[in-house]
Amino acid sequence: GQQLNQSPQSMFIQEGEDVSMNCTSSSIFNTWLWYKQEPGEGPVLLIALYKAGELTSNGRLTAQFGITRKDSFLNISASIPSDVGIYFCAGQGGTSYGKLTFGQGTILTVHP
Amino acid sequence: GAVVSQHPSRVICKSGTSVKIECRSLDFQATTMFWYRQFPKKSLMLMATSNEGSKATYEQGVEKDKFLINHASLTLSTLTVTSAHPEDSSFYICSARGKGGEKLFFGSGTQLSVL
């Protein structure tokens, strides 16, 4: 089946630093999504990418859909303490909309 | 925006009992709902896809007789963990999408602890 490799697994950074994480896949996805999850909560959508090469921003977050359709990255600029959480990439392939394959997650810790 | 309500948020039960988790779409009709399972600090693993009015489609390795899914209406899907055992303890999350909609919304999850 499809697999997503997300890295890094965890990051410990100082407030104000920029963050970058990425996902790669062994197969092509039609849509890439980035979610943030906080303890005891469901994932919350941050950015959705629908076209290869697409670069999309949401405030301090920027994500890109790789040209090969097998990878995506998420950047967070000028991190703040409330950015703490687990970030997941998710890919959707084929015609079954909503059936997502998730990456392993990146645990982000921001020190004030 | 659209909201998906999941209930209960936390449940503790004895081994051998059955537990029902509800997932409701509050302001849209969810033609398809998805059920995920998540272990601490791990990824979400899709368990099954639930379409209104039809049988759920289970992912490989997921026991359909263990995890009963019912999607009886366009706003409600339920997951019943039957004869729960400690190894069933996990965080269960639903998601829902509307007909023709491109957006997918997640519930807030249910933490199941089986003693």
User: What pLDDT, in 10s, does the model give residues B88-100?
Assistant: 999 999 999 877 6
* Cα–Cα nearest to A90, from A38, A52, A46: A46
Confidence of residue B103 (pLDDT cuts 50, 70, 90): confident
Confidence of residue B79 (pLDDT cuts 50, 70, 90): very high
Q: Which residues of B37-66 are buried (b: 16+ CB within 10 A; e: fewer)?
A: bbeeeebbbbbbbbebeeebebeeebeeee
A66 and chain B in contact, CB less than 8 A? no
Give the 3-state secondary structure of residue B87: helix
pLDDT tens digits, B2-39: 689 999 999 999 999 999 999 999 988 888 999 999 99
| B41/A105 Cβ within 8 A | yes
The whole-angstrom distance between residue A110's C-alpha and the CA centroid of its chain comes to: 17
Segment B44-57 shows an average pLDDT of 90
A73 and chain B in contact, CB less than 8 A? no
| B46/A101 Cβ within 8 A | yes
Query: Which among A42, A101, A104 is the nearest to B106, CB-wise?
Result: A42
Joined together, the tokens standing for residue B9 give 């948020």
Segment B68-78 shows an average pLDDT of 91
Q: Which residues of chain A have pLDDT under 70?
A: 1-2, 94-97
- Min distance A104 CA to chain B CA atoms (Å): 5
A59 and chain B in contact, CB less than 8 A? no
CB-based contact A104:A73 (threshold 8 Å)? no
pLDDT for res B97: 87
The whole-chain average pLDDT of chain B stands at 91
pLDDT for res B81: 97
Confidence of residue B1 (pLDDT cuts 50, 70, 90): low
The greatest distance separating any two alpha carbons of chain A, rounded to the nearest whole angstrom, comes to: 44
pLDDT for res B15: 97
Query: How many Å apart are CA B12 and CA A9, to the nearest integer?
Result: 30
